[in-house]
Structure 1
């Protein structure tokens, strides 16, 4: 492991971009500033219902696991209902209540069956969720209340706006409020932690203006944060190396983008050969099933020859973490063997974020791949959170 809690990122390396594509122009993600202006703050994070949780999403080391419904603010400032889970630690709460880990999950899909709170040992998203559930169980065993949002539109009415930074950030903070309403032993101090799609959400959360201050975001941890997603459509259309492996994520991007902007209709862009995968992504298939369904689909056959990808790419570019102005200490963690979110891409993001905020720590873990990063980085993540709670300033990579 190379720990950048003790080393700085080489900013010269930040010119590397995902897939080696040059010339990417970052559009400042000013959306990070706009959380909370559509739904009045007092109407967000309201607990709507709660029930015992006994499926695979229940963390074994918790004293109690609950599934909850709560209010939040979705795309366009509309009031939404969101589901998620709450795990309560064993033992007596410390003075001030249990500190909170609000987990932003990685890509599962956009169909309702892909919601983490609905996971079962044979569920369609369990191949990924088994990793994150094991990771979260370590946090609750260390005395942290663990809350996990399903995000907007996963298991609830409406589509899931995949990689929409503000929507995700809203649901990440509002589940903390709802959990505190459910159990007052849960404290005000919380940390946003996320992986992949959720890593991008953790960065947007760190950039969001936190109002009201009923809960206190103390720091953010972004594991392999998703970035340069706007390059994926063109990458697939060109059939470049690795395009086949990107297909499950491309179909999730297509349906997720339409959920955020109804004018981005996937059927206007894809061929008849690819259209059934769009429908499966909406209704029944998570990423594991999409990997199987797309195995025999040549990447060059996904988009119609006359498809105008510019509006889709422009929307995706608006959701990049590049351009964010972070407001709380943030630890960015990356696996050196990750081929889905490459070290070069993450170093580029860190270098950009450092130009506006200096409290960023970077850690690269030797030999860790995309999912394996969760397990191998836990101890350093725990130490980072403990440092922040103790008032110690982590070393900066900037």
Structure 2
């Protein structure tokens, strides 16, 4: 069925003068620029096109992961309900102990806003900083699908921190992976959700949306690491910090999602910085070039943009991104370090408490790993065995 959809879409694209996607070279890891088709199917998670790919652990491309790799373009729905095309990567281990191979939807953390920062591209270039946790899941015999989210690798600005768009892209990545003809995954096989930081928020959103948006998926659990669940608290923590560029990402991403022009807020310097972050720099480059970026040095009135978030229309936008107001139907492991220097641990604790009050089975796994980036190891070390227990059908622990 997917081959029929792909053929129909490519014919339609060719009819309006759009080039059909070329195939990747598995020898070099070079990826074609997949084009958004002219006509999108009505069903979320349909595969629009795919191509073979590669997964390297290092930028020298000396260490190639032994797995089947396919870059895909699939359909999902943005915040406004419009059908859009996004890209991603499906990774399949060569062997597995499972009869029905589970699939884990890996929601990536902050990559940047530029198309070159898309995880599907960075996995092929050996520059993906979350390569090791992805490989760890593959080593367990799980298939893994990694979404690029809206606007990374596809036209438009990445809608960074948009709760609904991110959660839907994660859920539809599972549908797409299960429908991909090139990968032998059961259409109704077991699945799980996993993510840290931005990915933790996207995973939490996907878990909350799944009962109504993707009720047919057999999701066994969700691993949520350091989720930015409440932007009203996270924004003040980020602005002016070593991770100040992330706040600027959020401003651009949410402004795009809600159709707001931020240029009137910014000085000429502020516009240059914002455009540079949006168009040119991935995460590590952005943090190196703009350390301790404070938004008050970018604005025409000299006031930090965090103050604007407290006024209309931004106060409503921020409130709409809050997690914990909806009930996941699956058990959750929520991992968060007390020494997180980006997302305060109390934000994670509050989310766990909100879910507990709704009757969700939640295990809150706190740790004292210093720093937001280093604490990804805590989520992985807790999350991988926790997932194994969910796929084995064991009763999930709770700290509620």
TM-score range, shorter chain: 0.7 to 0.9
Aligned partners of 1:233 and 1:250 also within 8 Å: yes
Q: Name 1:287's counterpart in structure 2.
A: 283
Q: Name 1:256's counterpart in structure 2.
A: 253
- The alignment covers a number of residue pairs equal to 347
Structure 2: stretches of 5+ with no match in the other structure: 1-39
- The question of 1:133 aligning with 2:137 is answered no
Secondary structure at the aligned position of 1:245 is classed as: coil
Aligned partners of 2:245 and 2:287 also within 8 Å: yes
- The question of 1:111 aligning with 2:114 is answered yes
Relative to structure 2, which stretch is displaced further, 190-199 or 380-389? 380-389
Structure 1 Cα separation of the partners of residues 90 and 125 of structure 2: 22
Q: Name 2:184's counterpart in structure 1.
A: 185
User: How much has 1:142 moved relative to structure 2?
Assistant: 0.8
Q: Name 2:340's counterpart in structure 1.
A: 338
Q: Name 2:78's counterpart in structure 1.
A: 74
Structure 2 Cα separation of the partners of residues 255 and 160 of structure 1: 8
User: How much has 1:284 moved relative to structure 2?
Assistant: 1.1
Aligned partners of 2:108 and 2:146 also within 8 Å: yes
Structure 1 Cα separation of the partners of residues 358 and 91 of structure 2: 35
User: How much has 1:138 moved relative to structure 2?
Assistant: 0.7
Structure 2 Cα separation of the partners of residues 215 and 392 of structure 1: 19
Per-residue CA distance 1:49-89 (angstroms, 9 max, x = gap): 11121254799444311111111111211111111111111
Q: Name 1:360's counterpart in structure 2.
A: 362
Structure 2 Cα separation of the partners of residues 211 and 257 of structure 1: 22
- The question of 1:50 aligning with 2:50 is answered yes
Distance 1:321 1:213, change over 3 A: closer
Q: Name 1:227's counterpart in structure 2.
A: 229
Structure 1 Cα separation of the partners of residues 178 and 234 of structure 2: 39
Q: Name 1:27's counterpart in structure 2.
A: none
Per-residue CA distance 1:79-105 (angstroms, 9 max, x = gap): 11111111111225732x210110111
Structure 1 Cα separation of the partners of residues 87 and 284 of structure 2: 22
Aligned partners of 1:89 and 1:145 also within 8 Å: yes
Q: Name 1:86's counterpart in structure 2.
A: 90
Question: 1:193-342 counterparts in 2 under 5 A?
Answer: 193-208=194-209, 209-211=211-213, 213-231=215-233, 243-262=240-259, 264-295=260-291, 299-305=295-301, 308-309=308-309, 310=311, 311-342=313-344
Aligned partners of 2:163 and 2:205 also within 8 Å: yes
Relative to structure 2, which stretch is displaced further, 203-212 or 69-78? 203-212
User: How much has 1:379 moved relative to structure 2?
Assistant: 3.6
User: How much has 1:46 moved relative to structure 2?
Assistant: 0.9
Secondary structure at the aligned position of 1:48 is classed as: strand
Distance 1:327 1:57, change over 3 A: farther
- The question of 1:64 aligning with 2:68 is answered yes
- What TM-score, normalized to structure 2? 0.79
- What TM-score, normalized to structure 1? 0.79
Distance 1:244 1:92, change over 3 A: closer
Structure 2 Cα separation of the partners of residues 218 and 296 of structure 1: 40
Aligned partners of 2:123 and 2:131 also within 8 Å: no
Q: Name 2:6's counterpart in structure 1.
A: none
Aligned partners of 1:255 and 1:281 also within 8 Å: no
